[in-house]
Amino acid sequence: MRRILIFIFTFTYLFVSGQEDAPESERKQINIVYGANFTKDEAQFPGASIFSKDDERQVQFEHKGADLWCDIAIFYSQENRLKAIGNVRLQQGDSIEMNSAKLNWNGDTSLAKAWESVDLSDGKMTLTTDTLYFDREKQISYYNSGGKVVDSVNVLTSRVGTYFTELKKVQFRDSVHIDNPEYIIDSEQLDYYRVSKNAYMYGSSTITGKEYKIYCERGFYDTKIEQGYGIKNTQIDYDNKIIIGDSLYFDKASEFASATNNIQITDTINNGVIRAHYAEVFKAKDSVFATKRAVSVSLVEQDSLYMHGDTLMVTGKTESRILRAFRNAKFYKTDLSGKCDSIHSEEKTGITQLIRNPILWNVNNQITGDSIHLISDLETEKLDSLKVLENAFIISLDTISKTGYNQAKGKDLFGKFIENELKIIDLVKNTEVIYYMYNDDQELIGIDKTICSKIRLLMANNDIEDITFFVNPDGDIFPETDLPLESRKLKGFVWRGEERILSKDDIFDEDDNNIELVKIRGIENPIDIDAEEEERSKNENDPVNNIPNTKAIVSKPTSIKKVQKP
């Protein structure tokens, strides 16, 4: 009989209060589904009806398609709000369920607060926190005292978090941390889409995998396949290399990383550096491909060697590393520079080849030939020797007269470096010399013009100190007045002093210095990540165009002079 009276009272109470409230179109009343035991306590809860569970079931309420169960409910019908206490469970549809010890619910504003051991689940993800606020109208839940989200692959924690039910997105802020068996992510802010498992990072963010570490201040990461990109102050530590650039792309499965704009790749083992505006790193092949004002910087005898080409490629393991510079290749260090069509430098043999139309400047000496090889000592890694094969020609401006040129030519040239300085030069086969000779008072004695089978030049301070002729030398020393100007140049003489590379900046031509960098979307203005995620999902579901959506970073230039990759 008591339970019947309770239901009669409840029905009458709701009917009367419903007449006094706003129209149904403006307000939706919280309904009692099961009231169980009823009482009132005007001293402590004025105007409230108190319902408590019985032996059969908990108290149950309904509001706009959501059901709530609890042990005790303090219900303010006039204000259309209630406080639920003990084993609180809120269920919305077939998927969303929340449990807590206590809950405040306002039916007019659809705002609620749950606290003490709160967990929210949608069947595939569980959010736990001490206090959770939610807005049923906007379908948003949030916490600001620390929380954790667990799904099938990740455990995510943060100080502040917001769950967007319709987007199935959680926005984490302040001390964000993701634990995955394969990697760890730490970020200032991270937006995580539960279905796709995609993460969008803002502020200082670090992804630490088993074989890589990524830092960025804005970026995207597909947590399922460990693929993503970073923009704004980005860095990847990968394959014993530190890669820095305005934009970086990474894919674990293909063991590939690329970078765009203001790139620096540091080889931590060989202490070498590559700078460019576009680069690719292939871990499996231990190789780097770089273009757009690309330059390699390495240390040789406490001096930096700069090597440039339209395209640079570094391949092979540490002991077998090969550096190639393609098209318009140039290099510079303080006492040695040169250029040619391409450069091939192999660490295993210590040989650097200047290929096709090479020219070398050793301080003031211009050296040309069909092919030029620089050879390093494999033990000391110091420059050891020089080979010029076919049509070897060495020229230097006479430093006293400033008008004549000292010249020597032969079929081949072999040079010897001592303490990184070219000291001995041997010219062999069909050799010829023109040399301006002076006394100790710097007065011109005459011009030596000789042919023979072999010539040795001994150098001091990068100038000819002594000449030795071998095997039937034929020539003479001519007074300046007796040797016409047209006879003072050997056949094939071409002085290219205006092309000499005098600084590390000279290795770049006008096209290199006027490169227009690609615009990386998202650096200046934040990307609408909800729209980005929707587009990404469409691409993933498109069997024809099922490729990663990387247009946000514009990682690859629109035109690259490609070479065959290793």
> What CATH number is attached to the domain comprising 3?
2.60.450
- In the block, tokens 């050891």 appear at 384
Instruction: Please say which residue of 110, 126, 159 terminates a domain.
Output: 110
What is the predicted pLDDT for the residue at 541?
58
- In the block, tokens 């469409």 appear at 538
Indicate the pairing of strand 322-333 with strand 336-346: antiparallel
Kindly report, residue by residue over 77-136, the tens digit of the pLDDT: 999 999 999 999 999 877 789 999 999 999 898 899 999 999 988 888 899 999 999 898
Q: Write the CB contacts of 95 (distance below 8 Å, at least 6 apart in sequence).
A: 122, 123
Type and span of the H or E element at 536: helix 529-541
Rounded CA-CA distance 352/365 in Å is 19
The helix/strand/coil state of 298 is: strand
The helix/strand/coil state of 520 is: coil
DSSP per position, 139-192:
TEEEESS-EEEE-SS-EEEESEEEEETTTTEEEEEEEEEEEETTEEEEEEEEEE
Please give the distance of CA 174 from its chain centroid, rounded to a whole number: 24
**HEC sequence for 221-283:** EECCCCEEEEEEEEEEEECCEEEEEEEEEEECCCCEEEEEEEEEEEECCCCEEEEEEEEEEEC
The helix/strand/coil state of 24 is: coil
Structure tokens at 22: 């706003």
Rounded CA-CA distance 27/313 in Å is 69
Burial class (CB in 10 A: 0-12, 13-18, 19+), 514: exposed
Quick check: 469 and 477 in contact, CB under 8 A? no
Burial class (CB in 10 A: 0-12, 13-18, 19+), 35: buried
Q: Write the CB contacts of 180 (distance below 8 Å, at least 6 apart in sequence).
A: 153, 154, 155, 223
Please give the distance of CA 117 from its chain centroid, rounded to a whole number: 41
Quick check: 547 and 243 in contact, CB under 8 A? no
Instruction: Please say which residue of 461, 483, 510 terminates a domain.
Output: 510
Domain for residue 461, yes or no? yes
Task: Count Cβ atoms below 10 Å from residue 562 Cβ, excluding itself.
Answer: 10
Indicate the pairing of strand 72-76 with strand 311-315: unpaired
What is the predicted pLDDT for the residue at 526?
66
What is the predicted pLDDT for the residue at 232?
84
Q: Write the CB contacts of 308 (distance below 8 Å, at least 6 apart in sequence).
A: 293, 294, 295, 296, 325, 328, 329, 330, 331, 507, 508, 512
Domain for residue 451, yes or no? yes
Domain for residue 321, yes or no? no
* Beta pairing partners, 326: 311, 342
- In the block, tokens 């597909």 appear at 222
Q: State which residues form the domain around 440.
A: 349-510
For residue 424, give Cα distances in angstroms to 69, 240, 386, 404, 413.
Answer: 96, 39, 10, 22, 10
Indicate the pairing of strand 365-368 with strand 303-308: unpaired
* Tally of domains within the chain: 2
Q: Supply φ then ψ for residue 371, to 5 degrees.
A: -145, 140
Domain for residue 381, yes or no? yes
Domain for residue 29, yes or no? yes
CATH number at residue 373: 2.60.450.10
Domain for residue 11, yes or no? yes
Instruction: Please say which residue of 110, 130, 159 terminates a domain.
Output: 110
Structure tokens at 13: 């109470």
E strand intervals along 402-518: 405-418, 421-438, 444-460, 463-470, 474-478
Nearest to 104 by CA among 130, 86, 81, 120: 81
Phi-psi category of residue 357: left, alpha or beta, with phi > 0 → left and psi -120 to 50 → alpha: left
Domain for residue 527, yes or no? no
Task: Count Cβ atoms below 10 Å from residue 45 Cβ, excluding itself.
Answer: 15
Quick check: 417 and 382 in contact, CB under 8 A? yes
Kindly report, residue by residue over 412-461, the tens digit of the pLDDT: 999 999 887 889 999 999 999 999 998 888 889 999 999 998 999 998 88
Q: Give rounded-to-5 percent helix, strand, coil for the chain.
A: 10, 55, 35
What is the predicted pLDDT for the residue at 16?
33
Q: Supply φ then ψ for residue 234, to 5 degrees.
A: -100, 150
Torsion of CA 135, 136, 139, 144, to 10 degrees: 30
Quick check: 559 and 276 in contact, CB under 8 A? no
- In the block, tokens 């039937």 appear at 472
Structure tokens at 305: 């060697």
Domain for residue 316, yes or no? no
**What is the torsional sign of CA 76, 82, 85, 87?**
positive
Q: Write the CB contacts of 287 (distance below 8 Å, at least 6 apart in sequence).
A: 281, 313, 314, 315, 316, 565, 566
What is the predicted pLDDT for the residue at 540?
67
Structure tokens at 258: 């690329």
Helix and strand element counts for the chain (H, E): 3, 38
pLDDT tens digits in sequence order for the chain, 566 residues long: 334 333 333 333 333 333 344 444 456 899 999 999 999 999 999 999 999 999 999 999 999 888 999 999 999 999 999 999 999 999 987 778 999 999 999 989 889 999 999 998 888 889 999 999 989 888 898 999 999 999 888 899 999 999 898 888 889 999 999 999 889 999 999 999 988 889 999 999 999 988 889 999 999 999 899 999 998 889 998 878 899 999 999 999 998 999 999 999 988 887 789 999 999 998 888 889 999 999 999 877 677 889 999 999 998 887 788 999 999 999 999 889 999 999 999 988 989 999 999 999 988 899 999 999 999 888 877 889 999 999 999 999 988 888 899 999 999 999 999 887 889 999 999 999 999 998 888 889 999 999 998 999 998 887 888 889 988 888 889 998 898 888 999 999 999 999 999 999 999 998 889 988 888 877 666 677 888 888 887 776 554 344 343 333 444 333 333 333 33
Structure tokens at 490: 């050997």
What is the predicted pLDDT for the residue at 186?
94
Q: Write the CB contacts of 46 (distance below 8 Å, at least 6 apart in sequence).
A: none
DSSP annotation of 518 reads P
